[in-house]
Chain A
Amino acid sequence: MADSTPEIDRETYWRTLMQRTLILLVVWFITGFVLSIFLAETLNAINFGGIPFGFWMAQQGSIFVFVSLVLIYAIATGQLDKQAGVEEDGDATSAPGAAH
C-alpha cells in the first residue's frame, strides 16, 4: 500500500468522510423525522398508490431510504479507502488490541 502514492492524503480522507457522514445524517433526519413525523399530517393529503403519503413514508418509505443510506456509505467509503491508501491488506486486518 505504501508502494503507490495515494490520490489524497489522510487528512483529506477524514474531512471528506466527515462531510459525507454529515450529508447522510441530514438525509436520515429529513426522512425519519421531517417527512415521516413533522410533516406527516400535511403529506397525508397526497395519495400514494392508495396510501396517504405521510403514513407510507413512516411505515414503509423511510425504511427503504435507511437501507439505501447504509448501502451508499459502504460503497462510497470503500472507494475513499482506496483513494487514500488506507484500505486493509487483503483479509488481514488488525488483530484485536493491535490498535493500541
Chain B
Amino acid sequence: MPSWIHKPSWVHKPTRKIVLLVTGAIALVLFGALGAAVVLLSGAYSTAATTQHFKITHRLLDAGLRYSVRASASDIQAPILDEPHKYEQGAACYRLHCAQCHGAPGIAPDEEGRGMLPIASNLAQSAREWPAEWLYYVTKKGVRMSGMPAWEFRMSEESLWSTVAFLTRLPSLTRAEYAQLSQYSAQLECESAEGAEMQASEDRTKIVFRQYACHSCHRIEGVVGPKSYVGPALVEWSHRKYLAGTLPNNEENLVRFILDPQAVRPHSLMPKLEVAPAHARQMARYLLELE
C-alpha cells in the first residue's frame, strides 16, 4: 500500500470490524423477521383480490416473469408455425381454453377472468412482444401464483404448438376476422393430453398428482399442498388392505379406481378426473411404494 493512503484505524483491527459487521447483519435479519412476523400475525397483509400490489412490486414481478421465462425457454426451438391447419386448430384450443380469461379481439374475458389478480394478460400484446418459444413455455408450464394452469397436462404437444401458432396471428386479427376464424374452428377439436409423452420419475409423479388437483382433497405423502380432509390421506399407502372401502389394495385396482371411481363405487364422492391411463399407473405405483 502506498504511503500516501491514510490508513483508517480499523485496518489494524480486522477482527473487530468483522465482528461488528456480522452482528449488524444478524440484527438486521432478526429485525426483518420480527417485522414480517408482526405483519403476518396481525393480519395486516391483505389477501383480497381487490387489493393490488404496489406499483413497484407489480413491475418487479413482471420483470421476474420475463427473465424466468427467457431462461427456461432458451433451449426450445419453435417448429414452422405459419401454416393454416396449425393456427386453425390453435383457434379451436384458444376458444375452448384461453378466451375465458384472456378474452379475444372484440371479446371480453368471462366473469371468472375479469376479477382476477393478477389479471390475465391480453395475449394480442404478449404475442406481439414475446417470441413463440416463450409463449409455448408459458402455455405449457403455466405461471405459479397467477391462476395460469400448465396446459401440458390438458393439451397434446401438437395442440400446444397449434395454440402458439394461433397466438402469433392474434395481434393481426380484426374483430371480424377473429369471429370468422373462431366460427370455422368450432368444428375442430383441441386434442387433449391423453396421448402426450410421459416420463415417469418421482418428481414428475408429484407434478402429475398436483396437475389433476388430487391434493385439493387428499393429503399425499411427499406432495406439498393444503391440509385437506375431504378424501382419505394417501400416506403409508402400501400398508392399506382395502381401497375405496372394499377393493383389495393393489396396482390394478388403484388404476381402475383412479380412472373411473363410479364404475367401482357408484356413490363415491371422488369425481372422474379424466386421468390419462399412463398417469393413473404412475400415481398407483407411487402410492404403493409409500411405506
The finding on whether chains A and B are genuine partners in a shared complex, rather than unrelated, reads no
Which residue numbers of A lie inside 8 Å of B, CB to CB? none
